[in-house]
Amino acid sequence: MAWQQPEQDKISSLVCSILKKDLNLTSLLDLPLHKQLFKALDTLGFSEATEVQDSAILEGRDVMVSAKTGSGKTAAFLLPMLDHMLRMDAPGYGTRGLILLPTRELALQTVKTFEKLAKFTPIKCGIVIGGEAYKHQIALLRKNPEVIIATPGRLVEHLDKRSIDFNDLEFLVLDEADRMLDMGFTEDMNTIAASCRQQRQNLLFSATLKHKNFGRIQDILDDPASIEVDSFKQGHSQITQQMVLADGDDHKRKLIKALVEEEKAEKVFVFCKTRAQCSAVGQHLAATALKVGYLHGEIPQSDRKQVLNRFRDGKLQVLVATDVAARGLDVSDVDLVINYTVAHSGDDHVHRVGRTGRAGKQGKAVTLVNRIDWNKNSSIERYLKIRFELRSVKGLKADYTGPGKLKKSGKAAGTKKKSRKQPVPKSPAPKKRARNKKNIGKGRKAKGSETHSDEASAYAAKGSHLYSKYRKKTPE
């Protein structure tokens, strides 16, 4: 059930989260925020509101927001939450806000954003994610931070052990909800929501509001308002998307090095399909002059955090990663994204290329396409309703030149197979046995032999001079 505020506090306590078509705010100074939040925004140098921030929540009701990556939606739900907590008394001594995210990296990033915005306020947050010591999290939760930022799996463990409760919760934020559904967190999300205070406000953020599994978490929200801010499929007009034809792995690795040098890129994301592939590509590129790190799910959390921080600080030039890093990570000034393998789906491709061209800046994404991935890449082009620009790299032309014939969809046209008629099965030949071929004498008829029957028919012919003689020996 959606939490309802007093009438006089609706506008001042909840702002910047939903696009309202009749508002045309262009500056964050136009928003009725607490002065301590303006002080933090001024320190960070934020003055212009993004489209998703240029809005106001509709009377505290539940909302579902679809916004492209890099649109500033993290600030869009943190600012109204902090503003409300500064202006309104807490209902108790427990946690007032819960933010659920799909990955550890995204949770750590959200903590950093929270700390910057809440710098001049007494409001604190705690993080609950996997890969970190359980006892340290217990000690943190005993301090009752106002906001918990968590991944679903570890948070459910704390709920099972009753080390946390949400009886005083006022805000539940589901960020990257579609990704959490894809990762199999549906049951955990429902379990967590059931443990929360009923009188709360739910905010759901997703790349798309048409996910097939949204119906499985619909009970979490109460009559939500659905808002689409800059369609994620059409929201990357500032990114130049290209494709380069490629052969095997060796050729692809040479292409990556050549592309980085051609673009003179200082920060490059390279996305791979599997963990093994990510490690292999990362180790190969690290043997070159490039400063390379790689990131996937099997790397310990402490190492993942260190690699990501080094990339953010510019100490690494190339970061090779699986799709775990594609969702929501905010790394500024990424010059180039290279898809070592074609993404599994159009949505995954959007989140990959969304690492560049953030906050209105120009970016470039290059996909390496071989014979196997041609049709999948064509499907992504149709999904996005664009055609990738074909690019060649000097001295590294691929043997593969694309399919000979194309369908209207852009996929490779295969040759039609001629229908083969099934041969009529022949009856099995009679078995030839050795015992039927024995020389057993003239007086006896060999079993299975037709010698005497043939002779009898010959003698039985009329007009034969042996007919009468044969008839005497053969009684009627």
At 69 the pLDDT is 63
Least confident of 11-15, 50-54, 137-141, 442-446: 11-15
Helix (H, G, I), strand (E, B) or coil at 454: helix
Encode burial over 3-38: b for 16+ CB neighbours within 10 A, e otherwise: bebeeeebebbbbbbbbeeeeebeebeebebbebbe
- Based on its alpha-carbon atoms, the radius of gyration of the chain, rounded to whole angstroms, reads 36
Question: Each residue of 96-118: pLDDT tens digit?
Answer: 999 999 988 889 989 999 999 99
Question: Each residue of 206-243: pLDDT tens digit?
Answer: 877 777 888 889 889 988 888 877 655 555 678 899 99
Taking residues 310-331, report their average pLDDT.
Answer: 84
Please check whether residue 8 is in contact with residue 14, taking contact to mean a CB–CB distance below 8 angstroms.
no
Q: What is the mean pLDDT of the chain?
A: 80
Residues 6+ apart with CB under 8 A from 19: 51, 52, 54, 55, 65, 227, 229
At 170 the pLDDT is 94
Tell me which CATH code domain 7-229 carries: 3.40.50.300
Nearest CA to 170 out of 236, 233, 96 is that of: 96
Taking residues 3-24, report their average pLDDT.
Answer: 35
Taking residues 288-298, report their average pLDDT.
Answer: 89
Asked if residue 290 has pLDDT above 60, the reply is yes
Asked if residue 476 has pLDDT above 60, the reply is no
Q: What is the DSSP letter of 420?
A: P
- As annotated, the residues of the chain forming the CATH 3.40.50.300 domain(s) are 7-229, 239-390
At 336 the pLDDT is 95
Q: How far is CA 338 from the centre of its chain?
A: 16
Q: How far apart are CA 195 and CA 169, in angstroms?
A: 10
φ, ψ at 331 (rounded to 5°): -115, 120
φ, ψ at 49 (rounded to 5°): -85, 140
Please check whether residue 186 is in contact with residue 111, taking contact to mean a CB–CB distance below 8 angstroms.
no
Burial class of residue 411, CB neighbours in 10 A (0-12, 13-18, 19+): middle
Question: Each residue of 373-428: pLDDT tens digit?
Answer: 999 999 999 988 899 999 999 999 999 998 888 887 888 887 555 666 667 777 77
At 9 the pLDDT is 34
**Between 33 and 378, residue with greater pLDDT:** 378
For residue 409, give both structure tokens.
């969809």
Please check whether residue 272 is in contact with residue 343, taking contact to mean a CB–CB distance below 8 angstroms.
no
Please provide the distance, in angstroms rounded to a whole number, between the alpha carbons at the two ends of the chain.
108
Q: How far apart are CA 133 and CA 364, in angstroms?
A: 39
For residue 80, give both structure tokens.
């109204």
Cβ count near 136 (within 10 Å): 9
Superfamily name and number for 239-390: P-loop containing nucleotide triphosphate hydrolases (3.40.50.300)
Provide, rounded to the nearest whole percent, the portion of the chain with pLDDT above 70.
Answer: 76
At 10 the pLDDT is 38
At 211 the pLDDT is 79
- Rounded to two decimals, the pTM is 0.70
Q: How far is CA 347 from the centre of its chain?
A: 7
| Alpha-carbon dihedral sign for residues 243, 245, 246, 252 | negative
**Between 4 and 191, residue with greater pLDDT:** 191
